[in-house]
Amino acid sequence: MLSVDGRPAEPAGTATGQEARPIAFDRPLLVAYVADGESEAVLRAVLGDLGGRLTLERGGVQAAIRELAHKPTPQVLIVDVEGAADALVALDDLANVCEPDVKVLVIGDRTDMGFYREITRGLGVVEYLYKPLTRDNVTRLFLPVVQGRIPGGTDQIGGRIITVSGARGGAGASTVAVNLAVELAQSTRGYIALVDMNLQRGTVAAMLGVTPGPGLRVALEEPERVDSLFIERSAVAISDRLRLIAAEEAFEDRPMSTAEGVSRLMALLRRRFHYIIVDMPTPGDAALRTIYAAAHMRLVVMTPDVVSIRDAARLKAMFATLTGSDKAVFVLNRAGAPGTMPLRLVERGIEAKVEFTLPEIPKRLAMAADLGVPAVAQSRVLRAAMQRLTREVSGARVGGRGGGWLGRLLGR
């Protein structure tokens, strides 16, 4: 397998220049980063019965950012923001190195109600305590979260689901899905799941030069067999931040997805990844079409021709039937290719604005597919176009910080 720049890839779980933290499945229960001995003593007194499931580290939010960049994210994280120049920015940086389902408890020296509301209601922190900590407050407000007796908003926590649908076969949906996932992993540094729901004719794995792992069909057909280790068994590591879940079922088989299986799989992925990019079959069976209702964004990839315009309009109508809204983001592939329809006629045909266009580069795409590398590694023009789409999906500044704690950690 080759890396994005065409060189041999590093082994899964490594990264140039620093130790990369792989997605963890045997995660510690509780890790606390505390800046002062008095607070540490109170936490140890209340939480000491957890034994080896409790890890207390000396240091504040900056220490947490440094260490969690290459350590497993705990299920519950206590972090001290006292002394941080800007606590909100620090929490935003922390979001880049944590998995989406972590429950965050914050301690600090701010006593104003505005700060409390900002981080709990606006940013999704489960609870905040100002210093000095007391055993009573930690017992009442932190301990139930650690013990799992307070959900802490976990029904709202999770990654964003992005569906990618082709208006017709060959429109380029898989190309968009692959390269969007690669760009998201690089620019946001979040954890990305790329799911190819084309169980028999999927091309995503081939585009990335890997063989699909087992398990996707089982998850869709027999959800009762899916446990917390499903991703570990089924996902293929593309990089330290990107995992592929795909299948290669025989043509003579008849995979039969269930609505329960689809729902369970999406819920599981949302707890583990910041973004879930789903390459959708068109139109897909009834169970798979339920993903559209759960999606935070629906991308429709089309080409500038009459058949594609017709079927893009039909997809809009299907979205309206399934979800009550025909809202979609249209991506026009092969824009400006000789003999194709101009943009104004495409937009008139679909009665919607085309938000993004991709250039006609057949040789580059073919070369990338043959090498098993993302096409953005072969074309600067395509990469620039995909970066614009990445910003729309994530709110991230490409090459800089992502779109915020709210957008990346909680996916709301």
Average pLDDT, stretch 378-387? 84
Q: Is pLDDT at 100 greater than 50 in this prediction?
A: yes
Token output for 264: 């369970």
Binned at pLDDT 50, 70 and 90, residue 241 comes out as: confident
**Burial (Cβ within 10 Å: 0-12, 13-18, ≥19) of residue 20:** middle
CB 129 within 8 A of CB 82: no
Same fold, 30-146 and 160-410: yes
Q: Which range among 32-46, 49-63, 90-104 shows the weakest confidence by mean pLDDT?
A: 90-104
Looking at residue 400, its pLDDT comes to: 41
- Looking at per-residue confidence, does 180 or 18 come out higher? 180
CB 149 within 8 A of CB 127: no
Average pLDDT, stretch 223-237? 80
Binned at pLDDT 50, 70 and 90, residue 131 comes out as: very high
The CATH superfamily label for domain 160-410 reads P-loop containing nucleotide triphosphate hydrolases (3.40.50.300)
Q: Is pLDDT at 146 greater than 60 in this prediction?
A: yes
| Segment 329-354, tens digit of pLDDT | 999 998 888 888 999 999 999 999 99
Binned at pLDDT 50, 70 and 90, residue 283 comes out as: confident
Helix extents (H) in 80-172: 87-95, 113-117, 135-137, 143-146
Strands 192-196 vs 275-280: parallel, antiparallel or unpaired: parallel
E strands, 221-353, are 236-237, 242-245, 275-280, 297-302, 329-335
| Segment 189-208, tens digit of pLDDT | 788 999 999 999 999 999 99
Strand partners for 236: 244
Looking at residue 361, its pLDDT comes to: 73
Q: What is the percent of the chain where pLDDT is above 70? A: 84
pTM check: above 0.75: no
Binned at pLDDT 50, 70 and 90, residue 186 comes out as: confident
Looking at residue 96, its pLDDT comes to: 75
Q: Is pLDDT at 261 greater than 90 in this prediction?
A: yes
Domain 30-146: assigned CATH number: 3.40.50.2300
Average pLDDT, stretch 306-332? 94
CB 254 within 8 A of CB 199: no
**Hey, what amino acid is at 301?**
V
- Looking at per-residue confidence, does 10 or 70 come out higher? 70
Of the candidates 395, 101, 165, the residue with the CA atom closest to the CA atom of residue 295: 165
Average pLDDT, stretch 363-384? 73
Average pLDDT, stretch 119-147? 87
Average pLDDT, stretch 375-404? 71
User: What's the whole-number average pLDDT of the chain?
Assistant: 83
Looking at residue 125, its pLDDT comes to: 86
Average pLDDT, stretch 267-294? 91
Report for 211-215, 326-330, 372-376: range of highest mean pLDDT:
326-330
Average pLDDT, stretch 38-47? 94
Strand partners for 262: none
Q: Which range among 261-270, 331-340, 372-381 shows the weakest confidence by mean pLDDT?
A: 372-381
Looking at residue 157, its pLDDT comes to: 56
Q: Is pLDDT at 366 greater than 50 in this prediction?
A: yes
Q: Is pLDDT at 264 greater than 80 in this prediction?
A: yes
Q: Is pLDDT at 101 greater than 90 in this prediction?
A: no
Looking at residue 304, its pLDDT comes to: 95
Please report, for the chain, the start and end positions of each structural domain, with discontinuous segments joined by +: 30-146, 160-410
